[in-house]
């Protein structure tokens, strides 16, 4: 594997069986949404779901150290009340996220951080299939008036220039086509850095998650602003 942004990408992101804990929070969202007036709704926390793989699920970490929990804390520290649900499934692909979209993103969700595609790249999946699945997810979310922040991924550099070019283009092109927010590379500054990853070399440790959150927070702030402005 070549050095660079994707150094260390050699195995699948996560091997645990799928597990998404959304039911309690989803039920609360539904109940509160039915009771809130428009004015009250403007004051409530923005409800965000992180739809992703083990990078958001928090593979190898305590729940409070996973990306969604730490990002929620970062937003609240900036005076932006948000509730971020973790819909990360270890080992999931873009197609897997599409298949479970309806139950992973419950009614009452205001925004989604879409973090899928790392496993597609690691497995050398056809970029056209990954693009099609992500495109369908974004379309379905926009139909539901849910704002989207697309978290990008880069292909392993040893897959060759044609594959790299095709895969890397997926995220900026989809973001532009659908007019959604883009964070170009979720693992910027983290991929390939031993001090920021667990022993497997591909899953961020606590310090790595902190680094991701630091980079992602400004875009998450924009996402919250979009919701507050009624844009999706």
Q: Is 110 a catalytic residue?
A: no
Tokens, residue 103: 């139950």
- Output b/e per residue, 124-161; b: 16+ Cβ within 10 A: ebebeebbebbbebbeebeeeebbbbbbbbbbbbebee
Dihedral sign for Cα atoms in the order 36, 41, 45, 48? positive
The active-site residue, picked from 5, 92, 110, 203, is 203
94 within 8 A of 58, measured Cβ to Cβ? no
Element housing 84 (H / E): strand 82-88
How far is 153 from 156, CA to CA, in rounded Å? 10
The active-site residue, picked from 53, 54, 90, 168, is 54
How far is 232 from 229, CA to CA, in rounded Å? 9
Closest CA to 137 of 167, 114, 169, 111: 114
The SS3 assignment for 95 reads: helix
The active-site residue, picked from 12, 200, 210, 232, is 200
Mention every residue, 6+ apart, whose C-beta is less than 8 A from residue 98. 133, 136, 137, 140
Q: Is 56 a catalytic residue?
A: no
How far is 232 from 227, CA to CA, in rounded Å? 7
Q: Is 102 a catalytic residue?
A: no
| Strand intervals (E) in 143-216 | 147-151, 181-183
* Residues with active-site annotation: 54, 200, 203
């Amino acid at each position: 594997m070549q050095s660079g942004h994707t150094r260390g990408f050699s195995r699948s992101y996560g091997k645990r069986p799928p597990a998404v804990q959304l039911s309690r929070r989803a039920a609360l969202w539904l109940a509160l949404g039915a009771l809130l007036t428009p004015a009250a709704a403007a004051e409530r926390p923005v409800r965000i779901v992180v739809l992703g793989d083990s990078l958001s699920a928090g593979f190898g970490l305590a729940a409070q150290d996973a990306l969604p929990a730490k990002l929620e804390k970062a937003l609240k520290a900036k005076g932006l009340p948000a509730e971020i649900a973790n819909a990360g499934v270890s080992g999931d692909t873009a197609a897997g996220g599409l298949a479970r979209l309806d139950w992973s993103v419950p009614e009452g969700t205001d925004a989604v951080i879409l973090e899928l595609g790392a496993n597609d790249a690691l497995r050398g999946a056809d970029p056209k299939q990954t693009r099609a699945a992500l495109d369908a997810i974004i379309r379905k979310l926009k139909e539901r008036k849910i704002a989207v922040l697309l978290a990008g991924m880069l292909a392993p550099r040893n897959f060759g220039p044609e594959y790299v070019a095709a895969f890397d283009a997926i995220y900026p092109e989809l973001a532009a086509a659908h007019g959604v927010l883009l964070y170009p590379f979720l693992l910027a500054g983290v991929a390939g850095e031993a001090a920021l990853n667990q022993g497997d070399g591909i899953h961020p440790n606590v310090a790595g998650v902190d680094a991701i959150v630091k980079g992602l927070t400004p875009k998450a702030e924009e996402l919250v602003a979009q919701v507050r402005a009624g844009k999706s």
